[in-house]
Structure 1
Amino acid sequence: MEEKERTIEQLFNLGFHAEYPEEKVEYYSAILESDSRDPLLWKEEALALVWTNTGIAYCDLSEYQKAVYCFEKALELDSLNPDIWYNKGIAHSYLGNHRESVKSYTKALEVDPKYDNAWINKGMLHDILGEYEEAIKCYEHVHVTMEIDPKYALAWNKKGIAYYHLRKYAEAITCFTKVLNMDPDYEDAKNNMANAMKKLKSAGEQ
């Protein structure tokens, strides 16, 4: 009864500022179920945002199938929003639907070719699928800030691993070097560098 006394705008603000994802789902669901939305205020993009925020809350609750449903509802209203496609890709990835996840990231990149995180996540999925050439292509699309921003150390490390699997050890070492220049304490990159150097040395001795 108390929820009906709140306006749609109040419910949205409560959902946006709620600390726990369960609360977010509750408030956003109340908006989506309401018959009192002002159609002039709550147009398709606004409702798509509510569906998207609900999906993100479900991701936080590890309820990824429900999250996918929410993102699909959002895309019915706003199909050219790369963030919705990106979040759908994340949800599919957690469900183990790697091919569907790749499709979602591809859609996000069709709308925004400079969406660095989508390129990185798509590359990581190609890594998982053993498609190392495709993974490298994705990492090479990442914006030039990847060269200097420590947050991209993971991408350089993954790119190096892809080269390693392709037995391109010199290229792999170059990638791991970039990681360690950004983060000298990156243990995984240190180990990967050592392994790549051993392989390169062995190849040279043959």
Structure 2
Amino acid sequence: MPPSMATENATITDGAEQLKLSANEAFKAHKYSQAIDLYAQAIELNSENAVYWANRAFAHTKLEEYGSAIQDATKAIEIDPKYSKGYYRRGAAYMAMGKFKMALRDFQQVKKICPNDPDAAKKLKECEKAVMKLKFEEAISVPESERRSIVDSIDYRVIDVEPQYAGARIEDDVVTLDFVKKMMDDFKNQKCLHKRYACQIVLQTREMLQSLPSLVDINVPNGKHFTVCGDVHGQFYDLLNIFELNGLPSEDNPYLFNGDFVDRGSFSLEVILTLFAFKCMSPPAIYLARGNHESKSMNKIYGFEGEVKSKLSDKFVELFAEVFCCLPLAHVINEKVFVVHGGLFSVDGVKLSDIRKIDRFCEPPEEGKLQLSCLFHMFIFPFQLLLPYYSRSKYDI
């Protein structure tokens, strides 16, 4: 190699290392987007360094961009199959998505490369436990046709309301605007809704959602407006602010909340009960779509399950899980606007009629299947039984 070329290569390597160090500092300061940009610049200078790819995967994980994290970690593994952090980063991303079987394979590989790593051993044990639980649940599961609904064992009418209860009350089994306003005001002051009324709202919402198709058509008359909102994720006070700025849901001020109502935030129960209450009050006032966080696996990992157990009971966890399976997957506004939580398809040729045929009344599998394609963030593997996918999302895989 000529001296000039060697000098140039050394300069490029030094530049990439400086960018990596700057990215590391940004990461330490919790500036993950900035860190990702800096790691990307380092990769442009030296794309054969597995560390850069694994580090960027870690930053993507911090932003919950698990699809990108898996892509980057996979690239790190391709560059250096003995680089343990590549497997570790990918396994962590799979684990965060609830894909424990795939995570298990990666942590087993980490264990082979670094048998004395205590953190890897801990992750491996967690994965093994989760996979064993999945296998046990599969072994004792009842066929769908024989499965009883949790609703069969619930009657809100037998739940007594204590005389001292001073919160919002549903009168004559009708959810009114006054009730919803009182309930929201109680939530704002961190007061709880009585279990009887919470149960009544959820059951009534389930009945309405069950009757809807997987793809719902919405007609907005000329001269009228329609509001679409993205992920609320348990941020009740942000939801109140939306209503303060844009008005409460009504037939003249309709909303579509496009999935991910719960998890992460500390007031997921308050959010979902508020949205469900508006649905009960006036079905045309609010439309609800399912996101990937309306699922058992996500609720277990990201907090909604624990919150419901704490504020209500274990039985409500099962009830919400069943109701979430009833949520429609997509909406079309005025035959022009297609709205779905995950984003556009990763393949061509998908028709609205295909979506209408999807049987949505079940939990998303650990690995993608046709009938649940709409549940995942960016339609990573929809219709992969028909065509191979050609793109991935930064959020999911």
Query: Which interval holds the TM-score relative to the shorter structure?
Result: 0.5 to 0.7
Question: Could you tell me whether the CA contact under 8 Å between 1:132 and 1:165 is conserved in 2?
Answer: no
Matched with 1:84 is 52
* Aligned residue identity for 1:101: A
How many angstroms apart in 1 are the aligned matches of 2:96 and 2:30? Answer: 21
Asked if residue 124 in structure 1 is aligned to residue 115 in structure 2, the reply is no
Q: Which of residues 53, 66, 71 is equivalent to 2:21?
A: 53
Give the secondary structure class of the aligned counterpart of 1:114: coil
Question: Could you tell me whether the CA contact under 8 Å between 2:101 and 2:127 is conserved in 1?
Answer: no
- TM-score when normalising by structure 2: 0.31
Question: Could you tell me whether the CA contact under 8 Å between 1:48 and 1:75 is conserved in 2?
Answer: yes
Higher helix share: 1
Matched with 1:110 is 78
Asked if residue 142 in structure 1 is aligned to residue 110 in structure 2, the reply is yes
Give the secondary structure class of the aligned counterpart of 1:167: helix
Unpaired runs of 5+ in structure 1? Answer: 1-38, 170-206
Matched with 2:101 is 133
Post-superposition offset of 1:125 = 1.4
Give the secondary structure class of the aligned counterpart of 1:130: coil
Post-superposition offset of 1:157 = 2.0
Question: Could you tell me whether the CA contact under 8 Å between 1:49 and 1:74 is conserved in 2?
Answer: yes
Post-superposition offset of 1:43 = 1.3
Asked if residue 160 in structure 1 is aligned to residue 128 in structure 2, the reply is yes
Question: What percent identity do the matched residue pairs reach?
Answer: 23
How many angstroms apart in 1 are the aligned matches of 2:97 and 2:119? Answer: 24
How many angstroms apart in 2 are the aligned matches of 1:152 and 1:78? Answer: 28
How many angstroms apart in 1 are the aligned matches of 2:50 and 2:122? Answer: 22
Matched with 2:183 is none
Q: How many residues align?
A: 131
How many angstroms apart in 1 are the aligned matches of 2:126 and 2:76? Answer: 21
Task: String of CA shifts for 1:67-97, please: whole Å, max 9, x gaps.
Answer: 0000000000000000000110111111111
How many angstroms apart in 2 are the aligned matches of 1:132 and 1:121? Answer: 14
Question: Could you tell me whether the CA contact under 8 Å between 2:23 and 2:35 is conserved in 1?
Answer: yes
How many angstroms apart in 1 are the aligned matches of 2:39 and 2:116? Answer: 33
Question: Could you tell me whether the CA contact under 8 Å between 2:50 and 2:86 is conserved in 1?
Answer: no
Matched with 2:62 is 94
Q: Higher relative contact order at CA 8 Å, sep ≥6: structure 1 or structure 2?
A: 2
Asked if residue 73 in structure 1 is aligned to residue 41 in structure 2, the reply is yes
Unpaired runs of 5+ in structure 2? Answer: 1-6, 138-397
How many angstroms apart in 1 are the aligned matches of 2:116 and 2:60? Answer: 30
Question: Could you tell me whether the CA contact under 8 Å between 1:65 and 1:91 is conserved in 2?
Answer: yes
Task: String of CA shifts for 1:81-115, please: whole Å, max 9, x gaps.
Answer: 00000110111111111110111111111111112
How many angstroms apart in 1 are the aligned matches of 2:111 and 2:105? Answer: 13
Which structure's CA Rg is the greater one?
2
Aligned in 2, Cα 1:157/1:77: closer, same or farther, shift over 3 Å?
A: same
Post-superposition offset of 1:133 = 2.0
Question: Could you tell me whether the CA contact under 8 Å between 1:81 and 1:108 is conserved in 2?
Answer: yes
* Aligned residue identity for 2:75: K
CA-atom RMSD in angstroms: 2.2
How many angstroms apart in 1 are the aligned matches of 2:136 and 2:51? Answer: 34
Higher strand share: 2
How many angstroms apart in 2 are the aligned matches of 1:48 and 1:97? Answer: 24
- TM-score when normalising by structure 1: 0.57
Question: Could you tell me whether the CA contact under 8 Å between 2:27 and 2:59 is conserved in 1?
Answer: yes
* Aligned residue identity for 1:142: V
* Aligned residue identity for 2:42: A
Question: Could you tell me whether the CA contact under 8 Å between 1:124 and 1:158 is conserved in 2?
Answer: no
Post-superposition offset of 1:143 = 4.6
